[in-house]
Each structure stands twice: as structure tokens, then as C-alpha cells.
Amino acid sequence: MKKLGFSMVMVALLLAGCTSKQKENTSESTSSKAPSQEIAVVVDQEMSSMDSALATDTYSITAINNVMEGLYRLTENNELEPAGAKSLPQVSEDGLTYTIQLNEHATWSDGSPVTADDYVFAWRKAATPETKAEYGYLFEPVKHATDILAGQLAPEELGIKAVSEHELTIELEKTTPYFDSLLAFPTFFPQNEAFVTEQGDSYGKNSENLIYNGPFTLADFDGPGTDTSWTYLKNEDYWDKDTVQLTKIDNQVVKESSTSVNLFETGQADDILLTGELAKQYKDNEAFVTIKKAGTTYLSYNQTEATFKNENMRKAISYVFDREAIVNQLLGDGSIAPTGLVPSGMSYSPTTDEDFAVEAGGNLTMNIDEAKKLWQTAQKELGITNLTLKLVAYDTDSIKKVAEYLQSSIEENLEGIKVELSVVPVSVAIEYGQSTNFDLFLFGWTADYADPSSFLELFTTDSVYNYGKYTNPKYDQFVAAAKKADLSQLEQRWGNYIQAEKTLMQDMGVSPLIQKSEARLRNPALKGIISHSAGAQFDYKYAYLEE
């Protein structure tokens, strides 16, 4: 299904189609249940933060989505479902003002009500420059957010207002096609100001320094970046607790697929990630599932140094990779070779219905002869004969294998280049990325919302996620023009993003390697998990074990 449309008509259909999934899932979950509603899940990375203003990684976002709740949740069809809000937003005729009535039954886990002030506080916090929220830019559609993020206005000027305890208004700078979906994204969740202020710098550092308003609460979490296990417990103070069937979800970090499989085979895990040969081995098993993701794994180049300011050098590296071999032989999990940065199956033209990835084209095929010629040209331009490069990657099983493949492909095909691997935990990898402490950086991005901007805004000159410091004024201009467009200029908006993608790929500003999918083994009795290709990956609110 196409995730988000690009017209006012599509937005209207989205809102009109947002029937309550709660009743559907509730009736389904009233079928016979297993005696115990406890499950164990294996994940392959630690969480980096439980502060909704600061979290950016997949597992932190997923955790926050399950132990906390915003105005809306997304159904399995990516439609809005009222959660912290009582109903869908009332949108003004010009599309600039949202009026939202809050759910009067929603409470925090200390029994206090969730109020409009909690949303105002959280949004202002995330948009405050001092918070250093990497996702702060997501607030740019909101009135005055850009100036606040730039330090030119006070956070109190942000276009969100608590009209009363249970009524909220939001003013936008311009109509924004994907804004509705942001209202279900964890960065836009409320925070209890009194509790956050009381905790100070300790807020979110462990499960005791958090307060919850979602289907579950967090237990046994000792700290971001280091703790390798945590638990979700059913939240008895949750306004819709009767819908929630699972009482306990144990999460354990395991980075070796073989270990995960052993846990699954011995009944110690109900849901695990598969990679490589194990994915191929289990593809006919009744427990095997494949989950498509709106995500791309790519290679960034450190363009603050002369080596990778050189376009021929970047292209020489990119041309030695066989992307089909990576996804089919190395991973075998349903991932596909990308044609560009923006993944296929996510975004469609407002006029032709063409897939963005198809229209943008892209040439990411392997060409060893061309790679060698480009390397020779780069050697002359740079005045070098040999080169040692530091490749940073994070330490999940699949990413390590890809990093080793990149290392061998470069060294075998580009004589004189030596690649040193630095494989580190994801939190450390992110720190390396943020400080541009690498030559090559193997990283991945999954869409926060189903729109090309979720990827293409990453690589503007001023983006905090532009770890390799790619810069091209033409690219910046295309993205800026697309951002300025409103719902009456959807065709122009689309065209500018197409040109931005083409520019990035022509420059080889980054090298996309994989369009991600996940292969998993999941207990066939485990039903009702909602998976999202963009945004928070898993929602356990409606999950249950069947007899």
C-alpha cells in the first residue's frame, strides 16, 4: 500500500479512513488465548535513549512507542487511530490550524492526567536548540519552529497552544503533506513537565527515571547504550488496558544470529532476527516471516578531507560493490538492491503515480573496470599511490558481514588501498558519525514518515545527519524549494525531490547499498503485532499468544 498521498484529497481520504482499529483488534484478540501472555523478543542493538526528545535509533523509538503514547497511533495500514487524542484533528479550511480534543481518560503511570500542557512542554523542549535534539528539524512545519531551532526566537513562540486542559491547537507555517503522520511519531509524544524537571539530567537514564502513559511500562532498564536487556510490563494505569493482552515482553540484545536461533529453537525466544545463511535455511519454516522496511543502508564518505572531496575517489569505491550479491548471497533476508537513496514502494508521484525510486532512476551497478580507471585518475589528482582508510560500522551480525565484504571488495579491486575495520556498538558508531571520525561509515536510515523528505533532508549542508559533510549548493536548493512547496504545489515539490536525488547520486555523495527487509522467526502462536515500514517498527498493543 502507498503510505502517504500527496494531495489534499489524499489527506482527506486518510483522515476519513481512520476508523478505529481498536475494535477490530479487540474482537480478534478475544479468540482463545494461551494461559500465559508473556513473550521474549531478541533484538540486535542496545537502545541509545529513552528521552522521546533525543531518541533516534530503531529500538529506542520502538520502546518509546510501546511504553508511551502520543496523540495518535498508526494502524497496520498506517492510518491514524486516536490515542492521546479523543478524535481525529479538526483541520482549518486552509490546512494551517489543527484543533485536537484530548482523551480525558489518558493518565501517566503515577495517576496524574495527560494534559495539553504536557504536549506543549515536550514540543518546546525538542525544538529548543540547547536540547540538541537530532530530530528537532521534524518540527519545521510548525509555526516559528525554524527560527526557534536557529536560536532566533524563544521556544514559547512555537505554534502549539494549550487552549484548556484537554484541548490543543497547532499552527503550521504551511500545509504539509506528511504532518498527520508526525502526530503519531515518538518525538511528538508528551512529557510530564513536573516529573521531567524533578529528574533533571537523570530523566530517561533508566526505567526508574521515567514515567509512562502507554500500553506498557519499562522495567529492568539500567541505561542507554550499555544495557542488554529490558522488559515491557502491562500498564495497569493505561486508559485502554482492557485491550492489551500481553502482560510481559522480555527484550534481550543478541548480536549473533546463531545464538538467537538457539534461543528460538529451545523455546527461550518468541521473535528473533535472521541473517545470511540462517535466513536462507529457515525460509520454508512455518515460523519464518519477512518484513519490508522503508530503509536504506548506505556508505558515507568523509568529505572534510581531500581524499573524499574527490568525486572520482567516491565513485571508484562505489563501483566495486555488487549490491545484488550483498542482498542475495550475504543477507538472504528479503532485502533488495537499491537504485538510489529513497527506497522503492514508499512514495508515489501525485500526478503519474510513478514510484519515486523508478522515476529518479539511478545507476548503482558494479563496474570494476570503471572503478579501476577512476581510482587511477583520483591517484593522479590527489598525488598519492597508497591509501589506508578507516571503515566504521556497528556490531550487528549482518552489518559486520557487509562491512567485511566492503573491505575485501575495495582491497581486492583497488590496488594500493588498505581498509581497517572499526566495528563498534551502535551508540559508539553514532558518536563517530556525529564527529565525522571516519573515512568510510556504514550506516542505515529508516523513514520516520513515508515521504522522500525523510531521506533527502539528511544530506543538506546543514543537516546534523550529514555525517560525511557532503555539500552541493544545487542539492540544497532543490531540497529547500521542495520544503517551501505547499499542497497546491505538489507536482513542483515532487520534481524538486527527484532532482535532489539525481544530484546526490550523480555526485555519489553517499553510496546506497541495501534496501532493507527483515527476516524473522516468530512463534506462530504470537499474533497481532503491528509492523510499520516507516516510523516505530513494532507495536505490541494488540499482540497476544494464541493457544
Q: What is the pLDDT of residues 298-312, one digit of tens each?
A: 999 999 999 999 999
- pLDDT for the residue 6: 28
What distance in Å separates the CA atoms of residue 445 and residue 57, rounded to the nearest whole number? 9
Full DSSP string of 196-217: HHHHGGGTTSSGGG----SSEE
Query: 164 has which bridge partners?
Result: 167
Grid cell, residue 356, equals: 519515486
Alpha helices in 37-175 (DSSP H): 58-67, 116-127, 145-149
Question: DSSP letter at 329?
Answer: I
Grid cell, residue 541, equals: 498493543
The three-state (H, E, C) secondary structure of 169-194, written as one string: EEEECCCCCCHHHHCCCHHHCCCCHH
What distance in Å separates the CA atoms of residue 195 and residue 159, rounded to the nearest whole number? 24
- pLDDT for the residue 24: 39
In which residue ranges of the chain is pLDDT below 50?
1-31
Buried b (16+ CB within 10 A) or exposed e, 461-491: eebebbbbbbbbeebbebbebbbebbbebbe
Quick one: which of 496, 403, 414, 518 has its CA closest to 451?
496
Amino acid found at 146: T
Full DSSP string of 468-483: T----HHHHHHHHHHH
pTM of the model: 0.78
Q: Which residues contact 27 (CB under 8 A, 6 or more apart)?
A: none
- pLDDT for the residue 34: 63
What distance in Å separates the CA atoms of residue 392 and residue 114, rounded to the nearest whole number? 42
- pLDDT for the residue 2: 28
For the CA atoms of the chain, what is the radius of gyration? 23
- pLDDT for the residue 533: 83
What distance in Å separates the CA atoms of residue 411 and residue 219, rounded to the nearest whole number? 46
- pLDDT for the residue 362: 79
Contact 481, 315 (CB under 8 A): no
Contact 501, 340 (CB under 8 A): yes
Quick one: which of 239, 250, 230, 187 has its CA closest to 212?
239
Q: Which residues contact 152 (CB under 8 A, 6 or more apart)?
A: none
What distance in Å separates the CA atoms of residue 486 and residue 7, rounded to the nearest whole number? 10
Neighbours of 287 (CB within 10 A): 18
- pLDDT for the residue 12: 33
Quick one: which of 60, 50, 59 has its CA closest to 212?
50
Quick one: which of 536, 546, 542 has its CA closest to 234?
542
